[in-house]
Amino acid sequence: MAGLKLENVCKRYGAVQVIENLSLDVAEGEFVVFLGPSGCGKTSLLRMVAGLEEVSGGRILIGDRDVTVAPPGQRNLAMVFQHYALYPHMSVRENLAFGLRNIGIPADEITKRIQESARMLELDTLLDRKPGQLSGGQRQRVAIGRAVVKEPGIFLFDEPLSNLDAALRGRTRLELAQLHQRLGATMVFVTHDQIEAMTLATRIVVMKGGAIEQVATPAELYRRPATKFVASFIGTPGMGFVPVERAADDRGRAVVTVPGGASVVTRVAADGLASQGLVLGVRPENLRVAEQGPLRGRVELVEFLGERTLAHLKLEGGTPLIVTVPAGVSLRLGSHVAVSVDVAEAHLFDEAGLAHHAQEALQ
């Protein structure tokens, strides 16, 4: 087991700068997820850690060792790819053993490692089968097992669940979480799927345009996003945004005017907050159809999701907003409704997209 340290890492493809001066510390035993939209640089970053891409600048350290220019085989890590990359003519047992034989591990040690990983990943009864005789989930477990038998300092995962169907992804997520608990190993995982990130990570690295937007626990990212981008990217559905103007102060709290002219007394500190270019950000569960509320909108769509019902509204001025519908309330398409706001969970974002959060001291 080893930690990972990135110091001012850069990646350029010709004149195109993909990643610039990125720094990050991953502690031993952490499960860190790189999360972001396609093209944000997360896979390039993982491949640089693995030694599959050259580093244009900066340093990469695994443990206390600088591996910036070390070949992949000398980095004490194992990588699981999006595509299983199993040898079709080999059995599961042979696939697991192949890499170990290549580095000269004794036969009895190979047998021991295969038995342990097969038991851990429930592959015991599949060891003599070929990949063509396995389901997609079983093949992915074999690919993970091939990494486990190497006993690396760090595990790297490059979107390993994206080829699985929804039900299988859910089960495999659980298996990965349990594997991390059993091994206590350092794991770095790349995905664009926020559900994978939120359910697996001890910390999430949210990336945009080759830079880090925020590094935090899943709970902190959800409750206190650092930027408007993070707030919109995390959550299903994402946070709703309403353009507002700062109207006044109330005992240190910023008072804002929403579309339609109503006022909302936030719990965001008024000190240092601009008057123009502000956006009120609130998650759907903190917005609720009510008899009275500062926001008013027209019902465009109602979604029944089993455990909750969501209404898609269009506010005065045309701003779209998704809100929670209380149990027992029936809405007609085209009707106009009022929306209450839980100001304890409401944020303000400035013109630069930076978040200003509600403060308990300003209740």
> pLDDT tens, 304-354?
888 889 999 999 888 999 999 888 788 899 999 999 999 999 999 999 999
Residue 158 CB-density burial (10 A; 0-12 exposed, 13-18 middle, 19+ buried): buried
The tokens for 331 are 């809405």
Backbone angles phi, psi at 175, to 5 degrees: -65, -40
Average pLDDT for 155-160: 89
Residue 284 C-beta-side C-alpha neighbours within 13 Å: 21
When pLDDT is cut at 50, 70 and 90, the band that residue 361 belongs to is low
Look at residue 66 and tell me whether its pLDDT is greater than 70. Answer: yes
Lowest-confidence range among 29-33, 46-50, 159-163, 190-194?
Answer: 159-163
Q: Which domains does the chain have, with CATH numbers?
A: 4-227 (3.40.50.300), 237-362 (2.40.50.140)
Residue 274 confidence (pLDDT): 81
The order of strands in the sheet holding 16-26 is 16-26, 4-13, 57-62, 65-66
Q: Is the pLDDT of residue 104 over 90?
A: no
The pTM of the full predicted model, rounded to 2 decimals, is 0.89
Nearest to 350 by CA among 227, 213, 221: 227
pLDDT at residue 261 greater than cutoff 70? yes
Better-predicted residue by pLDDT, 248 or 204? 204
pLDDT the model gives residue 147: 85
48-72: average pLDDT? 93
